[in-house]
Amino acid sequence: MDAVRWSVGDGRETSFWHDTWLGDSPLKDRFGDIYQQSCSKQGIVQSFWCAQPGEGHWNVRTRGRLDEETAILLSDMLRELSIVKLAAGVRDSMV
């Protein structure tokens, strides 16, 4: 299903790593080193979002300590993710 692109609403129907929803390819392909160390390879987008009053943040948990190169890659990924905010009550949709 890599040819399908998702527009994320509440993040309940889109796979964080396997679907194309941020950029032109799945995050597992663009950030493979982070994917390999991820604690959750099957999670939906919503499961990586930590809602807080008035805001929220992305929480990509990894196993073990990251080397410097992978830590930089994670920082780059989080910077890209920072433009995305989930919308409660809005379903994800294919585009």
The predicted-structure confidence for 12-44, as pLDDT tens digits, reads as follows 999 999 999 999 999 999 999 999 999 999 999
Going by the DSSP 8-state scheme, the letter that residue 89 receives in this structure is T
Average pLDDT over residues 1-13: 87
Would you say 31 and 41 are in contact if contact means Cβ atoms under 8 Å apart?
no
HSE at residue 7, side-chain half, CA atoms within 13 A, is 5
pLDDT, residue 28, reads 98
Overall size of the chain counted in residues: 95
Q: How many helices (DSSP H) and strands (DSSP E) are in the chain?
A: 3, 4
Lowest model confidence (mean pLDDT) among 2-6, 16-20, 56-60, 84-88: 2-6
Token pair of 36 as six digits: 């390999």
Of residues 51 and 34, more confidently modeled: 34
State the pLDDT at residue 1: 46
Give residue-wise pLDDT tens across range 58-83: 999 999 899 999 999 999 999 999 99
